[in-house]
Copies of this chain bind each other. A is one copy, B any other.
Amino acid sequence: MKKDRRVLVDHSSLDDAGVFAYGRGEALVQTVDFFTPVVDDPYDFGQVAAANAVSDVYAMGATPITALAILCVPETPLPEGTLRAILAGGQDKLKEAGVSILGGHSVKDPELKFGYAVTGVAPRRRLLTNAGARAGDRLILTKPLGAGVLATALKRGELDPAAVRRMTRVMATLNRAASEAAVEYGARAATDVTGFGLIGHALQMADASAVTFRLRPSREWFQPRALDLAARGVAPGGLKSNREFYGPRIREGLIPEPLRLGLYDPQTSGGLLIAIPPRRASAFRAALRRRRVWHVDAGEVAPRSAVAIELEAG
């Protein structure tokens, strides 16, 4: 099918969202995501589902404006107030993001699922795609990793309440402040870290930009408990398949095994991975600190080598 010239980004580029030219120099940025509960509390689940759905828009450097709710509901009755709490969690989180809910659709499904189709807007020339990273850029990660391992431990009843609260807070945090700072300080490229793990999404960015990412992972990239659990073999199915799929394209280096595993951990509502020109990196980091955005230096962008990702001891 011949593509409409107004389609600036579609699914084929593995970018976070589709982009459509609309208006004078503006673009619509659109994405849809919904999934099964990752936490037990329905209000928290609604918050996480909303933060996750708008994240793809933030990853493109755009401002989300509208959302349509998507709800899959079992016919067997849920505990009283469950659906109301999920919708309220989503609504409150979207309000925080300045997003208006225009409608939605619900269907029957034995497994509860919730999420949104989200539309954002941005000036076309300020969009952050996967393709803009250049050799010399610094890489910044804006949320700690480990959500997949922790959620697996939660399902097995092996996670203490404090860890559950931390994990939930991380997933429910909007990538808004990180995205706004990235646009303001001239970031060259960004993606959000979700199902393919840090490695998978970094690799897509490195490929799209025709560069190699040098990552220097350390324990501080992870939520507390996540690496210990990973070392004990607690891992979601997606971690293994990510490693099988992306592993051959990585130079894994001499880093400890649990750390290595954690880089393949699939994230829900993960942070942004941002490529920023070196001369702007320290001002950008200061801006993230001022805006209270958790972040770590993840490494830097190098000219393309034989592999897309090189891991180095941190």
Contacts and interface: CB of A to CB of B under 8 A. Distances in A.
A32 B121 CA distance: 19
A103 B31 contact: yes
Contacts of A18: 66, 68, 101-103
Interface in A151-190: none
A4 B64 CA distance: 13
Interface string A46-79: 0000000000000000000110101010000000
A72 to B, nearest CB: 7
B28 A119 contact: yes
Interface in A91-121: 91, 95, 98, 100-105, 107-111, 113, 115, 117, 119, 121
A283 B145 CA distance: 64
Number of copies: 2
A22 interface: yes
Residue of A26, A98, A103, A121 ringed by the most chain B CB atoms within 10 A = A103
Contacts of A35: 107
Contacts of A117: 30, 32, 68, 70, 117
Given A32-B70, A119-B30, A119-B119, A20 B109 contact: no
Interface in A227-260: none
A110 B110 CA distance: 8
B32 A100 contact: no
Interface residues of A, number: 46
Interface stretch (A5-13, A123-131, A133-141, A288-296): A5-13
Contacts of A32: 68, 70, 103-105, 117
Contact of A105 (B6, B34, B121): B34
Contacts of A68: 18, 30-32, 117
Contacts of A104: 11, 32
Contacts of A86: none
Chain A interface main SS type: strand
Given A66-B20, A68-B18, A30 B109 contact: no
A309 interface: no
A10 B100 contact: yes
A28 B66 contact: yes
A115 B105 CA distance: 11
Nearest to A15: B103
Contact of A6 (B11, B19, B100, B110): B100
A95 B1 CA distance: 8
A20 B118 CA distance: 13
Contacts of A101: 10-11, 18
A7 B110 contact: no
Nearest to A66: B20
Contacts of A72: 72, 107, 109
B20 A102 contact: yes
Interface of A: 1, 3-4, 6-7, 9-11, 17-20, 22-23, 26, 28, 30-35, 65-66, 68, 70, 72, 91, 95, 98, 100-105, 107-111, 113, 115, 117, 119, 121
